[in-house]
Structure 1
Amino acid sequence: MRERLTPRKVRQRRLEKAAKEALSGEKTAMARLLTDDEPTAPKQPRVVVGHEYVRWVRRRVVADGRPAPSYGFDLEAVLTACAQAQRLLWLRRILMALACGAAGLCAWTPVAYLAPLVVLAGLWAAFWTDRTLAQRRLRTVFDDHGGEAWGAEVPRRFQDAVERIRDASYGDVVPYRNQVRSSGARYHFVGAGKVWFETQIGIDVMPARSRDDDAGDEGDSGSSRIPPSVADLLTGAHTGSGVVEFTPDDLHAHVARELQRPIAPLRDFHPDSAQEVFGVAAISAERWEMLTPDRWEGLVSLARDGVRAADAQRAPKVARRFLCARMTSWDGELVASLFVGFAYENHYLRVVVRPHVVNPVHPVLREAEKKASASGWAWQRRTAYLAAVDTGWFVVRLFKRARAGDQEPEQDPGTGPVSLREAYSTRHMDDMLQYDDARRYIEMMQGRVLASVDGFLVGHNVDTGAYRERITVVLNSGVINTGEMSNVQNQPGAVGSQQSSGGAK
């Protein structure tokens, strides 16, 4: 007989069902929490090594003779090493051709059955010679610390790139790429590393108010800020009546001087870090390959002299000037950069700060130094074994060609300019001390930039009340307290944040 359900029983069953679902959800959340607490090794991006690396550098990095700026290492030394590896490749091919020729001659003798063995032995000798000479050259570089060991002549295919690297204007023009993510768009300066966070501050430029005006507004401190009227903005448009006139280039020069102000550190305590401050012209990566020599000169003038330079009048149509402050440490493994943009138009000032940090080099490259320092019979046995593996892999490659994706690093976008240092970096900064130093450099440079802007505005009789409100949010609870290891989407003031940023724009 079917049970009759009363409203009381229906309500009781619903409560029991809700209790079971809540208990099940708690168990699932606890299991997920325990799983998340388990340490997991970060999966590093795929990179190519050996002669595939040389081909990739020639095809992507220096194809058009205009490589993207490199930070933390000398790209010319890399090109020289690639040239030496190319010579080793030709030597190996000659030895392989001799081995095949010797096998062909052996086929016309009574011991023709030994021809396959002659081919395999010749291939093994070619690969063994290639590995031995490469390891010896690498040890020479490490022992010489990259000095006179790079004395080899650069081939013609690298000449244009080397001349541009040696040019005094190399690094003045920087391409940027838009990285669309679930948390919003991030604008990444190619070569500067990972985008950490972004600070955006915008204020209406109005004359500073007198103390009587400030006292009269104390009772209205709890109300929201009223946008200024057109009359208030135009009060300082005339010389001597309010705001002292200035341009973005004036603000750029002031902040650069403040960052370069000499500070006497304790040499026995502070680490050896080099800070650089210079102007750059940012241009979209899609326009990088279309740069002509005349356009390049215009962008260099924009970076060095500002938008009012005679040769840079047409450059602002497709480019903008940024102030770059950069700290290099850990023997080039850690590079922290700050790109600051100033825009001032229609009495509205906007300051955008985009920090980038270059992660350490890939673990595959770290193993190269360890293997290059090895010697003795153990290394000889391993080299002989690896030469045999190369021989077998060469035979396999005759029948199975490599896929296109296996011939380029995973972090290569495939089109446009690419940074060699970024493509061969780790996915995350796993060293605690390096991460602490990176945060310290970014906080130091960003704090000084914001303070310099405040001092400039005060000196030009600008009301800094709104500006200080915004930087207070940034410094205390905003984007400066988050890094590439944190969830920037949930931070106040960050790009794509779901929280209120307290008026930050």
Structure 2
Amino acid sequence: MSGMHAATHRRSGDPQPVPPSAGRPNARTTVTRLLCVGAHVDPAFANAVVKECIGEVADTDRFVAPSYGYDVLPVLGHALIARNRRRYRRTAILISPFVPVLLSFLGMTATIIGIALWLWATWAAVFLERLITLHTLVAHLVVPAPEGGRHGFDGRIPDHAALTQIECDRINREQDGSSGLVYYSGYRPFVGAGTWQTSSAFPILLNRANDGILPPMDDRRSPGRAEVAPFTTAEIMGYIQRRLTAVLQAEEWEGQRIEELEIARRWYRTAIGRVRPVSPKDAPLPTEQGVEHYDAAREYLCVRVGSWDQEVVASVFVNLDVRGRTLYTETHRYELRPIKAAYHEVDRLPTAISPSDVRLVAAKAVVQMAGEAIGAAVTICTFPYHLLLRALSRNRPVSPRDQNEFGAEFPARRADVLDYGARRSVREIGQAPGAHHFFQDMDVKKYGDIVQKRVSELVIDFLEERNLDTGEYRARQATILNQGIIQTGSGRIVNTGRLAVGENASA
């Protein structure tokens, strides 16, 4: 680990180190630092990060999800280093059982010595791996000292053979969400936004103001009444983006404003085919909205509000589509939950490793040693069985899933068409199962409601400027924003939203 920050050059797009005198680091640096901690303390997280960013054999060409509020490359570098360290430990533990096996040919005494050496080697591998991890956390991933000390996270990318100049440039280009195009994989397109919360969609008829639903029987119009001004989907989307940016970013009342706000329009499309699409930075943006085929792209107005040092992010995605004289409004709300609580434990570590800390690590290594030794013995004994299963699976018959209704069999191991879209972001992998604080849940709902309320008001303004009736739109939005428990005049309670009852219940 001595080469953690030994790079003498900076790769293209590297985040700038945080100055030691900067005091409290910004939110982007804080989130990146905590995710780097997760790479060292959470093996599942580190493996998932490597798989999503670099991939294994079948995922080498998959796009990297856009990174909002953090930097991918430092997290990937720490994940690669942590994974290599765990592999070294695992290799040493798997080799050590052969020592008593070889010494067993020399007699009982040699066998006992071999067993002792096996257990000691297992303990030593676990102890060294835990001690190096502790040193990395204390020396490189704590909050940087404001006095300019040597320790602390500086945002640099660790050196690793997999992080070549070409690979870093590719990831930097793909993680940049400012390109306006996102290639996604799976069912939901909003990769990187976190967990889906609610969705709403409704159509309204575009009638003239104060007109009825039915069109007039002749061409006569009321005197002084203005005609309807037709508009396109691009016009209303652009109007809402401009006005929403001006309202939310410039709006301030007694110093109270929405911080960490991002408003952008992005196209989402799949990346399934025989050839990998060009990078979002180089690809031209689609021009036609509402195309209906498997390679279609849809444009959404994306509004993100970060709170709690960007650990909790509320996202609202809005799509408007004009079909004939009908306006279709589609809204999706997502929540990016806080980073796992275990990653925050780095802030409780001491500023230096003391002898008592080393003794504590050695004691914990003894407990872990037993499980590692048993696991290594089981792995060695079952290795021939797993090897046989792998050999047999290569010649397995075609399953019913590989046949169509006409009985023609598709090649079972052929991959002419691949999915190159991003599946999930590094930030989504590191999010906790739920909020750590009651106020975090409330803040996500608060910002989602504020954004949705502002968007609906701007849509109403746009329609009124074109002499269109807004009564139906107002009624629809009032129902959506106030959904929950509604008590009707008859005394019945109607639940139009999600309902949870009981302590710590969630819906």
User: Scaled by the length of structure 2, what TM-score is found?
Assistant: 0.64
Is the 1:362–1:425 contact (alpha carbons within 8 Å) kept by the matching residues of 2?
Answer: yes
- Given candidates 65, 69, 73, the residue that maps to 2:70 is 73
Partner of 2:234: 249
Check 1:313–1:268 CA distance in 2 against 1; reply closer, same or farther (3 A cut).
Answer: closer
Does residue 352 (structure 1) correspond to residue 330 (structure 2)? The answer is yes
SS at match of 1:277: strand
Q: Distance in 2 between matches of 1:189 and 1:230?
A: 43
Letter in 1 for 2:230: E
Report the CA distance between 1:242 and its aligned residue. Answer: 2.8
Report the CA distance between 1:102 and its aligned residue. Answer: 8.1
Q: How does 1:318-467 map to 2 (within 5 A)?
A: 318-370=296-348, 375-400=353-378, 417-467=423-473
Check 1:345–1:298 CA distance in 2 against 1; reply closer, same or farther (3 A cut).
Answer: farther
Partner of 1:192: 193
Per-residue Cα deviation, 1:218-251 (whole angstroms, up to 9, x for no partner): xxxxxxxx7434989x999xxx983223211111
- Given candidates 160, 173, 176, the residue that maps to 1:170 is 176
SS at match of 1:148: coil
Q: How many residue pairs get matched?
A: 394
Letter in 2 for 1:204: L
Is the 1:326–1:337 contact (alpha carbons within 8 Å) kept by the matching residues of 2?
Answer: yes
Check 1:393–1:378 CA distance in 2 against 1; reply closer, same or farther (3 A cut).
Answer: same
Q: Distance in 2 between matches of 1:392 and 1:82?
A: 26
Report the CA distance between 1:263 and its aligned residue. Answer: 1.7
User: Scaled by the length of structure 1, what TM-score is found?
Assistant: 0.65
Check 1:264–1:457 CA distance in 2 against 1; reply closer, same or farther (3 A cut).
Answer: closer
Is the 1:188–1:195 contact (alpha carbons within 8 Å) kept by the matching residues of 2?
Answer: no
Partner of 2:46: 54
Partner of 1:148: 154
Q: Distance in 2 between matches of 1:115 and 1:458?
A: 86
Partner of 1:119: 118
Q: Distance in 2 between matches of 1:278 and 1:292?
A: 26
Is the 1:203–1:466 contact (alpha carbons within 8 Å) kept by the matching residues of 2?
Answer: yes
Check 1:235–1:165 CA distance in 2 against 1; reply closer, same or farther (3 A cut).
Answer: farther
SS at match of 2:468: coil
Is the 2:77–2:163 contact (alpha carbons within 8 Å) kept by the matching residues of 1?
Answer: no
Q: Distance in 2 between matches of 1:133 and 1:192?
A: 34
Letter in 2 for 1:67: V
Q: Distance in 2 between matches of 1:197 and 1:137?
A: 41
SS at match of 1:292: coil
Q: Distance in 2 between matches of 1:62 and 1:177?
A: 19
**Structure with the bigger percentage of helix:** 1
5+ residue gaps, structure 2, are: 1-38, 146-151, 387-420, 487-492, 500-507
SS at match of 1:258: helix
Check 1:362–1:399 CA distance in 2 against 1; reply closer, same or farther (3 A cut).
Answer: same
SS at match of 1:360: coil
Does residue 292 (structure 1) correspond to residue 276 (structure 2)? The answer is yes
Check 1:473–1:268 CA distance in 2 against 1; reply closer, same or farther (3 A cut).
Answer: closer
- Given candidates 473, 476, 483, the residue that maps to 1:478 is 483
Is the 2:40–2:79 contact (alpha carbons within 8 Å) kept by the matching residues of 1?
Answer: no
Q: Distance in 1 between matches of 2:141 and 2:273?
A: 33
SS at match of 1:352: strand
Per-residue Cα deviation, 1:352-375 (whole angstroms, up to 9, x for no partner): 111111122223333454457785
Q: Distance in 2 between matches of 1:230 and 1:294?
A: 52
Is the 2:189–2:268 contact (alpha carbons within 8 Å) kept by the matching residues of 1?
Answer: no
Per-residue Cα deviation, 1:411-455 (whole angstroms, up to 9, x for no partner): xxxx98134433433333251221222122112111111111111
Per-residue Cα deviation, 1:58-110 (whole angstroms, up to 9, x for no partner): 33554234133344433222201112213423553676589679879988999
SS at match of 2:480: helix
Check 1:291–1:260 CA distance in 2 against 1; reply closer, same or farther (3 A cut).
Answer: farther
Partner of 2:252: 265
5+ residue gaps, structure 1, are: 1-46, 179-186, 214-225, 405-414, 482-488, 497-505
SS at match of 2:269: strand
Is the 1:198–1:354 contact (alpha carbons within 8 Å) kept by the matching residues of 2?
Answer: yes
Check 1:314–1:341 CA distance in 2 against 1; reply closer, same or farther (3 A cut).
Answer: closer
Report the CA distance between 1:294 and its aligned residue. Answer: 4.5
The root-mean-square deviation of aligned C-alpha atoms, in Å, is 4.4
- Given candidates 262, 265, 275, the residue that maps to 1:276 is 262
Per-residue Cα deviation, 1:376-432 (whole angstroms, up to 9, x for no partner): 444323311222233222222124459x9xxxxxxxxxx981344334333332512
Check 1:127–1:169 CA distance in 2 against 1; reply closer, same or farther (3 A cut).
Answer: closer
Report the CA distance between 1:341 and its aligned residue. Answer: 0.6
Is the 2:316–2:452 contact (alpha carbons within 8 Å) kept by the matching residues of 1?
Answer: yes
SS at match of 1:77: helix
Q: Distance in 2 between matches of 1:82 and 1:464?
A: 53
Partner of 1:201: 202
Report the CA distance between 1:151 and its aligned residue. Answer: 3.3
Check 1:390–1:97 CA distance in 2 against 1; reply closer, same or farther (3 A cut).
Answer: same
State the identity as a percent. 22
Per-residue Cα deviation, 1:4-37 (whole angstroms, up to 9, x for no partner): xxxxxxxxxxxxxxxxxxxxxxxxxxxxxxxxxx
Is the 1:96–1:122 contact (alpha carbons within 8 Å) kept by the matching residues of 2?
Answer: yes
Q: Distance in 1 between matches of 2:204 and 2:304?
A: 26
Letter in 1 for 2:330: V
Is the 1:299–1:315 contact (alpha carbons within 8 Å) kept by the matching residues of 2?
Answer: no
Report the CA distance between 1:173 and its aligned residue. Answer: 0.9
Report the CA distance between 1:346 and its aligned residue. Answer: 1.3
Partner of 1:82: 79
Is the 1:334–1:360 contact (alpha carbons within 8 Å) kept by the matching residues of 2?
Answer: yes
Check 1:384–1:449 CA distance in 2 against 1; reply closer, same or farther (3 A cut).
Answer: same
Check 1:447–1:465 CA distance in 2 against 1; reply closer, same or farther (3 A cut).
Answer: same
Check 1:296–1:459 CA distance in 2 against 1; reply closer, same or farther (3 A cut).
Answer: same
Letter in 1 for 2:262: E
Q: Which structure: larger Rg?
A: 1
Is the 2:174–2:280 contact (alpha carbons within 8 Å) kept by the matching residues of 1?
Answer: no
Q: Distance in 2 between matches of 1:469 and 1:230?
A: 24
Check 1:141–1:201 CA distance in 2 against 1; reply closer, same or farther (3 A cut).
Answer: same
Per-residue Cα deviation, 1:181-212 (whole angstroms, up to 9, x for no partner): xxxxxx57332122222232321112334xxx
Q: How does 1:8-19 map to 2 (within 5 A)?
A: none
Partner of 2:34: none
Report the CA distance between 1:127 and its aligned residue. Answer: 1.6
SS at match of 2:142: helix
